[in-house]
Amino acid sequence: MRYQGREVDIEGRVRLVMESALTARDRVGVQDFVLLENYTSEAAFIENLRRRFRENLVYTYIGSVLVSVNPYKDLEIYSKQQMERYTGVCFYDIAPHIYALSDNAYRALRTQRKDQCILISGESGAGKTEACKKILLYYTITCPTNDDFAAIGGRLLQSNPVLEAFGNAKTLRNDNSSRFGKYMDVQFDFKGAPVGAHILDYLLEKSRVVHQNHGERNFHIFYQLLDGGDDNLLNTLDLQRNPQNYQYLVKGNCPRLSSVSDKNNWKVVVKALSVIGFTEKEVENLLNIIAGVLHLGNVQFGEGEAGETYITTEAQMSNLAKLLGVDGLALREALTHRKLTANAEEIISPLNFEQAESVRDALAKAVYGRTFTWLVQKINELLAPKDILNYNRKSCCVIGLLDVYGFEVLHHNSFEQFCINYCNEKLHQLFIDLTLKSEQEDYEIEGITWEMVKYFDNKIICDLIEEKHKGIISILDEECLGPGETWDASFLEKLEDTLSDHPHFVTQKSANGKTRRVMSREEFRLLHYAGEVNYDVNGFLDKNRDMLNWNLKEVMCQSDNPILRHSFSTGEGIYHKGPGMVATKFKNDLKKLVEILKSKQPSYVRCIKPNDAKQPERFDEVLVRHQVKYLGLVETVRVRRAGFAYRRTFEAFLQRYKPLCPETWPNWHGSLEDGVSILVNHLGYKPEEYKLGRSKIFIRFHKTLFITEDALEAKRPDMALALQTSWRGYRERSKYQRIRHAVIVIQSAWRGMKARRRAKRRRHAAELIRRFIKGFIYRHEEYCAENKYFLDHIRYSFLKNLRKNLPETVLDKSWPMAPPLLAEASDHLRRLHMRNMVRKYCRRVQPEWKKQMVHKVVASELFKDQKDSYPQSVGRLFLDSRLEQEQISLKVIQTLGNDKVQYGVPVIKYDRRGFKPRPRQLLLTNTFAVLVERTKIKQRIDYAALTGISLSSLSDGMVVLHLPSDDVKQKGDVVLHCNHVIELVTKLSMMATKVNYVNISPGSIKFTVARGKQGIIDFVRGSELKVSKGKRGHLLVTAPRIDNT
């Protein structure tokens, strides 16, 4: 079938087109190892890798297999623009890339509706985890969206830092080595949008929790918590920042990494847990367990005289019990005693010192391992498709991502390395089988004779490890379950007795003299496909049993921590024989994994580590050669090149190369097979260079393809010229015909529409004229059908004119003239409009301005045309007070008590005798006024006692407050001068409700002096304001003239 111009074969792979990559082969090597000249040479293979590595071309194909070399530096090839460049593009059209492989698998999933898987393999530090991240990021960015896509995409990406924190560690070869195997199924709906994911984990290296080799570290999460957790969190967990204080973190002697920021990674992990959907309580329980493991490592034991063991670190035990949520006494008893069952009776026996330490470490490994399993299960719950009703497994497909630990050959290899290398053996066997099977099926379907390629079949090694009753795992399980005491040495002896004749198994006893000198008596050697590995049997039995005392399991089952309670199910507290063995469980898990992978269409990423120093631009040929060998890359090239290096369907081959033959260019109308036969005969292909199958052509030699491609490149200019000429002529003719036809259609339609519109307007105009004339004739009659249109027009015209000429302010008294017919309606509308304007104006007035207007109105009633200084005060706002709060003495305010000062102003008080000026403050309250001298109230004037307020008509600021002459509390009228006399008198008269008591005298004012005597203030005009003592004891006030024009 076809997919966006690219061919998809029956297996769902996007084939071709590697021809476009041939032009750059001389400068940076070939993009596909299948096209190597000397494809059987390992040196030529490595040289091609080196040349591309130096040019920062870290990806190369072996057919559909992607080879990736870790550059150990950031390359600008992973941007969103690069993703878009590879989206929907044929697999071989542009440079090799992890995105091309990802897009190829995705398009095969969409077109064939068949599950896909991407197998990522390689040595530790070769970049497997990063490759998995890049694939996930590509699907997150480029796949179609749906309602839940943003959340699913974020959770998919954020699951990586969480799993890395809990499952990765620093090893001698890799600062971020995966210490567990991971297989993730990304689930897509029928639209191609991710809807969920599911993760399977394999064999977490739990022994790393309690022991690390020199130069290695424990799992990342311990260091991230200590370095990145805030002080409050560490105090809650009773932790200290220094990793050296914890026994489980000091054995590798590597607390810090220069290339890693534990503090920053902690922030990433905390954010990721939140994005994935973990609750705060779940994170708290998780961190309690992590801290509990650290405290458990610091639990120390002592040994009594009778050999009994006791705990010497009570503080650690208290913290441990609190963090794990278990009973402290029960935990202490379980760490120092063992519960056995004999004849249906429970026997509790004490542990010796070594046994107690082993039990402690076993508990730490069990707690961490089961917590990691819970973490993966919880992530699976949060990544599961949310819309269960609309989720149908049959309508959805998955892309599986397999990221497992690489083949490991360490200085000291133990049970963990044995399982890891066994896993790599199985996956290598799967890779070889699927690759050969695919080739054989292709040749058989097409009827091509298959030339068998010799390669190493590692099935013999897999059988050596997993065969029933005779394999290493079966012997290991038999030894673990055997009666009585069993030892690692007895296991090795059984291996020697059973497997001594096997060609891939060696012990010191069966080895030759040279090998015997480099092997220990406690080791056995397996000849893996990737090389020879010596395994130390010490610890094999204990690690395979992975046993935990049943009384410890009972304690954990009763934990208050829901994670531990779930991980240690209550059924585990019941003693029973025959615990599941780790190696057997791992073998069964691998079997299921292989079945899963075989059910899917595979794609391969083979990762290569260029050097052990993790340095950019350094290519260690010895190290690379070793990896090329055990990954079987040269064998893969040989398989791809066996018989035929290149294959294409007849249709695709003819479509690409038909310009090279006059008989097939530009179109071939016969059968595809005949067309291909004519084409290859014209090109001069020799019979040994190609074969024609049932639907494909197979080209044996790469030179044949190069020559054909070069001929096509030389032909392209002539092809382009011919195509351009034909296309331009066709395009212009078609354009002219379309334009001519469009013009005719538009002209006809336009002329008809114009004529119809003109006739319609004329009919309408004639009708309107008749109705208007008839209405004018009957305009004085009652409203009827004859004058209805005319009168409605008159009303409409008046209202339209009125709308445009409505008064805009309440002061505008204009109004359009109305026809007699609408005189009454016009008056009514005028009143409504005026009322509406007044209402709007009143609504816009703020309370402050309303108060100001009230005061101004009162001032106008009092002083307009009465006092010369009034016009100047009109444009000035009346203030709430002329005194600041701090200008009024606190003592005076306290004396006034609940009577709040409403207004204050500075004044000058003139004595009744001698008229000596004295500065005062006049304070007005709601019921009285007071004259204040600094901090002392000199005089109180009750508003009820106030008999009048007198002012002159001139521009002076004099004011006289008249008081009753018979009031013994008062000493006569009060004579004041104020610069704000208009404001003062207005506020005073309103607060005292004495507006009608304000008197304005044009010449003089009489006032009462003490004991009934009268005083007089004379007012005259002058050049400036002046207050002085005049003749006959009068007070003379000279007021300046004010020009109010």
Distances (CA, A) of 372 to 39, 285, 565: 45, 13, 14
Sheet holding 531-536, edge to edge: 505-507, 523-528, 531-536
The token pair at 50 is 């080196």
310 CB contacts (<8 Å, ≥6 apart)?
301, 302, 303, 304, 336
The token pair at 16 is 């071709």
CA distance 8 to 17: 11
| Identified catalytic residue from 60, 64, 121, 174 | 174
CA distance 1002 to 950: 11
| Identified catalytic residue from 178, 207, 989, 1008 | 178
Closest CA to 285 of 565, 571, 558: 565
129 is a catalytic site residue: yes
63 is a catalytic site residue: no
CA distance 572 to 584: 19
177 is a catalytic site residue: yes
| Identified catalytic residue from 63, 196, 292, 406 | 406
| Identified catalytic residue from 408, 416, 635, 709 | 408
Number of Cβ atoms within 10 Å of the Cβ of 861: 13
Closest CA to 944 of 920, 970, 922: 970
CA distance 116 to 600: 5
CA distance 243 to 108: 49
| Identified catalytic residue from 12, 29, 122, 125 | 125
Which 8-state DSSP code applies to residue 931? E
CA distance 322 to 344: 33
Closest CA to 1016 of 863, 912, 866, 869: 912
| Identified catalytic residue from 48, 68, 102, 124 | 124
Q: Could you tell me if 991 and 854 are in contact, meaning their C-beta atoms sit under 8 angstroms apart?
A: no
Name the one residue in this structure whose structure tokens are 């002392």: 936
Cα 916 to chain center, whole Å? 83
Strand intervals (E) in 153-202: 168-169, 177-178, 181-188, 194-202
CA distance 403 to 167: 13
- Which DSSP string do the residues of 27-84 spell out, in sequence order? HH--SBGGG-TTTT-HHHHHHHHHHHHHTT--EEEETTEEEEE--SS--S--SHHHHH
Backbone angles phi, psi at 751, to 5 degrees: -65, -45
Q: Could you tell me if 44 and 628 are in contact, meaning their C-beta atoms sit under 8 angstroms apart?
A: no
787 is a catalytic site residue: no
Closest CA to 952 of 915, 999, 991: 999
Q: Could you tell me if 564 and 290 are in contact, meaning their C-beta atoms sit under 8 angstroms apart?
A: no
Distances (CA, A) of 569 to 374, 546, 589, 980: 12, 17, 21, 91
174 is a catalytic site residue: yes
The token pair at 874 is 């009109």
CA distance 945 to 941: 7
Which 8-state DSSP code applies to residue 1039? E
Q: Could you tell me if 199 and 184 are in contact, meaning their C-beta atoms sit under 8 angstroms apart?
A: yes
664 is a catalytic site residue: no
Cross-strand bridge partners of residue 931: 922, 939
955 is a catalytic site residue: no
561 CB contacts (<8 Å, ≥6 apart)?
285, 288, 289, 324, 325
Taking phi over 0 as left and psi of -120 to 50 as alpha, with beta for the rest, 12 belongs to left
The residues assigned a catalytic role are: 124-125, 129, 174, 177-178, 406, 408
